[in-house]
């Protein structure tokens, strides 16, 4: 839900606090990193210092604009205020942020996913907005001065979560925000090609393997790619670069649900990304069955155990959703 005066309350609590922390979700993406950085900058403009908490250092898949930030991955510090950005539920907070949340006096959440639980004292959740970046921009607009750095950060976050302003979460309000960002003389084309359009030779090799693995099910309506642990090891490609693969599958004519499965390490779990371009298919229904989450068009989940069994369960659930047996 939307809270009136959310920005005022957050700034007021933070300015009276000795310490403030900001955290995005586990396995961070551009929107969550950019919204963390934007939040930190907005607080700074209001005379408040805040640390950004992160599970572990970022790999080289991320552009330097978001990578070269002094993140905190370990600290004994107790934070009086903890702010989560782009995190729909408590379990998606990295462990460090979950621990700091327990000891905080005031907690805030700013998000654009479907609200699952009220895990913070104040929840500013605008479901359906393009990105956490857009929610932050609109919520805090009266309380910050837009500059080139902030505009570039917001632009990257919004670009990432809207797939370059084409997903259905792109609204006219999104373009209103973008038009304001472009007044800051940002080099949007350069930003986008650096962050999203360049691939390393290693990532290209990994993508080739993913493409070779593709199998179709349910009369070509389901496409599945898989990258096992050895594919990541042998190509030496960063896990983060595999996120684009599901987007390729979604573009194949006739495919209603695109599924990319990844085994990032030897812990025995499979990360699954789901996409659909079909207006009458809701992939979050598949994700929810496996305690995952996300949006109607793009969702994710985790499977554990034997690969064949995991794949079977996933395919059965996907077929039920396609056949609409699920309601």
Task: Report the distance separating Cα 215 and Cα 310, nearest Å.
Answer: 15
Please, which residue, 53 or 227, has the CB nearer to Mn ion?
A: 53
Output Rg (C-alpha) for the chain, integer angstroms.
20
Please, which residue, 126 or 314, has the CB nearer to Mn ion?
A: 126
What beta strand segments (E) does the chain contain? 20-23, 51-53, 81-85, 106-111, 122-125, 215-217, 222-227, 257-262, 269-275, 293-294, 298-304
Question: What tokens does 73 get?
Answer: 């991955």
Task: Report the distance separating Cα 195 and Cα 88, nearest Å.
Answer: 25
CB 23 within 8 A of CB 36: yes
Please, which residue, 32 or 223, has the CB nearer to Mn ion?
A: 32
Smallest distance, Mn ion to C-beta of residue 51, A: 21
* Sign of the C-alpha dihedral computed for residues 58, 62, 68 and 71 taken in this order: negative
Please, which residue, 130 or 276, has the CB nearer to Mn ion?
A: 130
Task: Report the distance separating Cα 211 and Cα 214, nearest Å.
Answer: 5
Question: What tokens does 80 get?
Answer: 């009086």
- What is the maximal distance between C-alpha atoms in the chain? 60
Please, which residue, 55 or 161, has the CB nearer to Mn ion?
A: 161
Please, which residue, 209 or 295, has the CB nearer to Mn ion?
A: 295
Smallest distance, Mn ion to C-beta of residue 170, A: 13
Smallest distance, Mn ion to C-beta of residue 205, A: 29
Smallest distance, Mn ion to C-beta of residue 60, A: 22
Smallest distance, Mn ion to C-beta of residue 76, A: 30
Smallest distance, Mn ion to C-beta of residue 181, A: 17
Strand-pairing partners, residue 52, are 22
Smallest distance, Mn ion to C-beta of residue 171, A: 15
CB 274 within 8 A of CB 224: no
User: Which residue is nearest to Mn ion, using beta carbons?
Assistant: 31
Task: Report the distance separating Cα 156 and Cα 174, nearest Å.
Answer: 13
- Check residue 195 and report its DSSP letter: I
Residues that bind Mn ion (CB under 5 A): 31, 86, 131-132, 161
Please, which residue, 86 or 241, has the CB nearer to Mn ion?
A: 86
């Amino acid at each position: 839900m939307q809270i009136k005066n959310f920005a005022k309350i957050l700034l007021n609590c933070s300015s009276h606090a000795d310490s403030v922390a900001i955290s995005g979700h586990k396995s961070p993406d551009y929107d969550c990193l950019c919204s963390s950085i934007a939040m930190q900058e907005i607080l700074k403009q209001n005379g408040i210092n805040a640390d950004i908490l992160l599970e572990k250092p970022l790999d080289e898949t991320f552009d330097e604009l978001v990578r070269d930030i002094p993140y905190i991955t370990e600290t004994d510090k107790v934070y009086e205020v903890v702010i989560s950005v782009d995190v729909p539920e408590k379990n998606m907070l990295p462990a460090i942020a979950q621990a700091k949340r327990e000891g905080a006096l005031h907690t805030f959440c700013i998000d654009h996913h479907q609200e699952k639980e009220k895990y913070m004292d104040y929840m500013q959740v605008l479901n359906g907005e393009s990105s956490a970046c857009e929610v932050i921009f609109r919520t805090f607009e009266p309380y910050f001065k837009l500059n080139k750095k902030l505009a570039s950060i917001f632009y990257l976050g919004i670009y990432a979560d809207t797939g370059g302003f084409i997903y259905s979460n792109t609204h006219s309000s999104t373009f209103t925000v973008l038009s304001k960002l472009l007044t800051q003389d940002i080099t949007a084309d350069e930003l986008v090609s650096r962050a999203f359009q360049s691939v390393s030779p290693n990532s290209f090799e990994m993508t080739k393997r993913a493409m070779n693995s593709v199998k179709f099910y349910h009369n070509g309506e389901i496409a599945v790619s898989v990258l096992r642990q050895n594919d990541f090891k042998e190509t030496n490609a960063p896990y983060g670069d595999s996120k684009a693969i599901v987007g390729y599958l979604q573009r194949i004519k006739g495919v209603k649900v695109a599924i990319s499965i990844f085994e990032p390490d030897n812990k025995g779990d499979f990360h699954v990304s789901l996409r659909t371009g079909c207006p009458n298919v809701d992939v979050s229904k598949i994700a929810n069955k496996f305690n995952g989450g996300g949006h109607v068009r793009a969702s994710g989940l985790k499977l554990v155990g034997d690969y064949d069994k995991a794949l079977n369960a996933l395919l059965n659930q996907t077929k039920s959703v396609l056949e609409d047996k699920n309601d």
